Copies of this chain bind each other. A is one copy, B any other.
Amino acid sequence: METSLFVFASRPSGWPSSDNFRIETKILGEIKENEVLLKSWFISVDPYMRGRMNDVKSYAPSWKIGQPIIGSCIARVVESRSKSLHAGDVVVGTLPWATYCIEKADNLRTIDVRNVSPGYYLGILGMPGLTAYFGMMDIINPQKGETVVISGAAGAVGLVAGQIAKIRGSRVIGIAGSDEKCSLIKNNFGFDEAINYKTSKSIRKELEILCPEGVDAYFDNVGGEVTDAVIANLDFHARIALCGQISQYNNTRISVGPSILPMLLTKSVKLQGFIVRNYNDRFEEALSQLTQWVNDGKLKYKETILEGFDKLPEAFLGLFGGKNQGKMLVKTD
């Protein structure tokens, strides 16, 4: 059986490009006992992967040059030598960016795609949804009547984070990068206010007007100037869930900005950097709650899907240009 797969061709300095990826073909060997042959269906591209392109110590191990790119994927079982999986089953797992692959059944989780789009398991019912859940429920713990600001609000995590804050009764202000995204989060996802950071003359002043009593909590996906503007508007005892810094991921050196610590001190702010893996032992609780909210119609979702296995680099690179609304995915079959 022949498979196409993307390998990591070169490390970017600064902005990544399609040159960092290379398609190779490979002949798959025999399926061993307890293994399955999978055909990929949906493949996830995520901002955190930019960190794996660097050769530095971080929470996610670096990709190695010449090795297959690995990430979250949905696949169909084509052939099985495992008792737990059968041909036709749909599974999610951490798999190579490949059209076909052989994987141990133990590393896969069967998913139910009768009622939800399979891609949901890479988004609202996957890593981004869990990230939004723990950042919002555990770190921010939004209260009724509080004002919660979310950057990257139209992204895979931001959309869920904002809706959770709404479920908890907070007033939610989203910051996003186009008028279309701003309209989306207000009109389709129930955000109370939206700021287009690309056209705003002063995000800081817009927030001052929208939040005369200050910002109670901030879910940060982007960092940089957007975050500086929000921090300048924090109220006493504000909480920051530090989830992403996508505006900084392609910097070649540490960027320079206003010192935020004096402000965080004066306002007794709590800030918590986190990744979803810190909450491994609570995934079940979170997925059960997220699934219920989805089934009850309280949580809605959006996907930007590019079609075709060869679109993977384009989809990934698009994340850093804000090309996605909601979760960016590639449909490979």
Q: Contact between A271 and B262 (Cβ–Cβ < 8 Å)?
A: no
Question: For residue A274, which residues in chain B have a CB less than 8 angstroms away from its CB?
Answer: 265, 268
| Identical chains bound together, number | 2
Name A266's closest neighbour in chain B (CB-CB): B58
CB distance from A109 to the nearest CB of B (A): 25
Question: For residue A269, which residues in chain B have a CB less than 8 angstroms away from its CB?
Answer: 271-273
On whether A245 and B223 interact (CB within 8 A), knowing A273-B268, A275-B268, the answer reads no
Is A27 interfacial (CB-CB < 8 Å)? no
CB distance from A292 to the nearest CB of B (A): 28
Q: Contact between A259 and B59 (Cβ–Cβ < 8 Å)?
A: no
Q: Contact between B264 and A242 (Cβ–Cβ < 8 Å)?
A: yes
Q: Contact between B268 and A259 (Cβ–Cβ < 8 Å)?
A: no
Is A255 interfacial (CB-CB < 8 Å)? yes
For the complex, give the distance between the alpha carbons of A51 and B263 in Å: 12
Question: For residue A267, which residues in chain B have a CB less than 8 angstroms away from its CB?
Answer: 59, 273
Is A29 interfacial (CB-CB < 8 Å)? no
Number of residues from A at the complex interface, CB < 8 A: 36
On whether A244 and B259 interact (CB within 8 A), knowing A270-B272, A271-B270, the answer reads no
One of B242, B244, B266 near A51 (C-beta < 8 A): B266
Question: For residue A264, which residues in chain B have a CB less than 8 angstroms away from its CB?
Answer: 242, 271, 273
Is A310 interfacial (CB-CB < 8 Å)? no
CB distance from A95 to the nearest CB of B (A): 25
CB distance from A238 to the nearest CB of B (A): 9
Q: Contact between A236 and B270 (Cβ–Cβ < 8 Å)?
A: no
Is A212 interfacial (CB-CB < 8 Å)? no
Question: For residue A258, which residues in chain B have a CB less than 8 angstroms away from its CB?
Answer: 254-256
Question: For residue A259, which residues in chain B have a CB less than 8 angstroms away from its CB?
Answer: 223-224, 248, 254-257
Q: Contact between B273 and A223 (Cβ–Cβ < 8 Å)?
A: no
Name A270's closest neighbour in chain B (CB-CB): B272
Question: For residue A51, which residues in chain B have a CB less than 8 angstroms away from its CB?
Answer: 266
Is A44 interfacial (CB-CB < 8 Å)? no
For the complex, give the distance between the alpha carbons of A278 and B242 in Å: 23
Is A260 interfacial (CB-CB < 8 Å)? yes
A-to-B contact residues, CB < 8 Å: 51, 58-59, 220, 223-224, 227, 236-237, 242-245, 248, 254-262, 264-275, 278
| 10 A-B residue pairs with CB within 8 Å | A59-B267, A59-B268, A248-B262, A254-B258, A254-B259, A256-B258, A260-B261, A269-B272, A270-B270, A270-B271
5 further A-B contacts with Cβ under 8 Å, apart from A59-B268, A267-B273, are A223-B261, A256-B258, A257-B257, A261-B273, A268-B272
